[in-house]
Structure 1
């Protein structure tokens, strides 16, 4: 489960340094990242025809533990060994590899899921790999969170980030006034195009679930360093960004309620038997 808190650079799966930076502090990541709403987990569980789930980019295992609690057997695939080690300590089985290079060794699954991580997978190669390991009637279901900071807080973060990383491909202000919640649809539209290109799935169904969560100043400052683009900052640069963010939250009374959107799509494997 890895994410960017803002519109991603073009072809995010090519930015491997960012994609594999989240394990710098897996304990913080697992402590601060929000679990998925029950409605999202229930929707995906209901779509899967059986109990065997493959979790692509499982991170520390946040969504994998939720699927396990829902009665599913989950195998994780995670490129960062630090994240994988944390997930294993929670009782999950995790294999270290990018999904494109992972070796299924003849195993097949009822669902391939990916929690806030599918944008780090090549959209065409990833969908083709999912088709190979899904049983006929199995479901591919990438999904992910995005939250939106209050405008004054987002501006403070963006200005501080531009000062410390002026040449970054990332934008922390949403760009052109676009809501970050809406902008994340583009990630799943890209994923849907990759799925269609394989010719192995029915028409992907795009969906969105809106919710919110309240954070104290300290809780928000604990969460923000787990975001892509900030995970690799030198400590002094990160401290400058967090100081600006904290001051902005203080001006709002020290507590903020963030709107979240969980975007996702589901597509059912059709056609002949698996080819692994």
Structure 2
């Protein structure tokens, strides 16, 4: 997805957790989010479950429960924490117990867990305060493991979207041309470094590890256009502006034959509670 720009009059692109309006905008179409967002690699889920000392798992920024349901299927008892009540309502309806709060303000009420995860959500959490809260609620030997999907958008699509967004969204905090010119993994490596630094600064954890899983994903034109409105850059757009963006992206996919297959990555930081 497009990266936040860093400008003096806006919260830094290195501090996305300060953009609360964006962080809490995904529930505008929670059903689409749950339908269009892909699950996480089974090998990642299995590795996290195996590394945790028990089955009690806290899912930070659980959204609609996409990752939570995968961990439940792997035998975990999952509690979700989600700041957007609309997302939390759908997560509960789909079988994940979920409480509404930002993680930093959430009250654990003396509950403790074996694993704390965050699926493509930890960048919306203050990295030091979040790691300190995770240390508070994790049992000794427990695992903190935030992870992210990285979508490798074909440059033809990224350039088409950048062109139209620079025209119709001149005041957007997002840098739409960034992904057309650079690797998405580079952006997320910076996010992983920030997460690892926050874990180190918070204290109470061993040295953080980094994991990576690459996987292929095929999209038809309709599937990609269904996915795009779930990205933070587009969740708050007026319908006419969103339609212009989708038209440009759709034309680019049409020019590629109406579908494309790309290699995506899932990146994780993992640290054990001392």
Could you say which TM-score interval applies, normalised by the shorter chain?
A: over 0.9
2:161 to 143, 146, 157: 157
1:101 to 89, 97, 105: 105
Q: What are the residue-to-residue correspondences of 1:256-271 with 2, within 5 Å?
A: 256-270=260-274
Range that drifts further, 53-62 or 178-187: 178-187
Deviations 1:30-56 (A, max 9, x none): 000000010111111111110000000
Residue 7 (structure 1) aligns with: 3
2:241 to 234, 237, 241: 237
CA separation of 1:83/1:176 partners in 2, compared to 1, >3 Å: closer, same or farther?
Answer: closer
- Distance in 2, matches of 1:63 and 1:229, equals 22
Task: State the 1:176 CA deviation.
Answer: 8.2
CA separation of 1:176/1:211 partners in 2, compared to 1, >3 Å: closer, same or farther?
Answer: closer
Per the alignment, in what secondary structure is the counterpart of residue 94 of structure 1?
A: strand
Task: State the 1:175 CA deviation.
Answer: 5.5
Residue 146 (structure 1) aligns with: 150
1:27 to 25, 28, 31: 31
Q: TM-score, normalised by structure 1?
A: 0.94
- Distance in 1, matches of 2:39 and 2:174, equals 25
Q: What are the residue-to-residue correspondences of 1:211-230 with 2, within 5 Å?
A: 211-230=215-234
- Distance in 2, matches of 1:229 and 1:200, equals 35
- Distance in 2, matches of 1:237 and 1:106, equals 46
How many residue pairs match? The answer is 266
Q: Contact 1:181/1:260 (CA < 8 Å) preserved in 2?
A: no
Deviations 1:126-177 (A, max 9, x none): 0000000000100100001011111111100111111121121212232683
Per the alignment, in what secondary structure is the counterpart of residue 140 of structure 1?
A: strand
1:92 to 86, 91, 96: 96
- Distance in 2, matches of 1:249 and 1:33, equals 19
Moved over 6 A (4+): none
- Distance in 2, matches of 1:6 and 1:134, equals 33
- Distance in 1, matches of 2:212 and 2:34, equals 23
Residue 57 (structure 2) aligns with: 53
1:184 to 183, 188, 203: 188
1:251 to 250, 255, 260: 255
CA separation of 1:6/1:208 partners in 2, compared to 1, >3 Å: closer, same or farther?
Answer: farther
Range that drifts further, 165-174 or 185-194: 165-174
Q: Which runs of 5+ in 2 are unaligned?
A: 5-12
2:211 to 207, 214, 237: 207
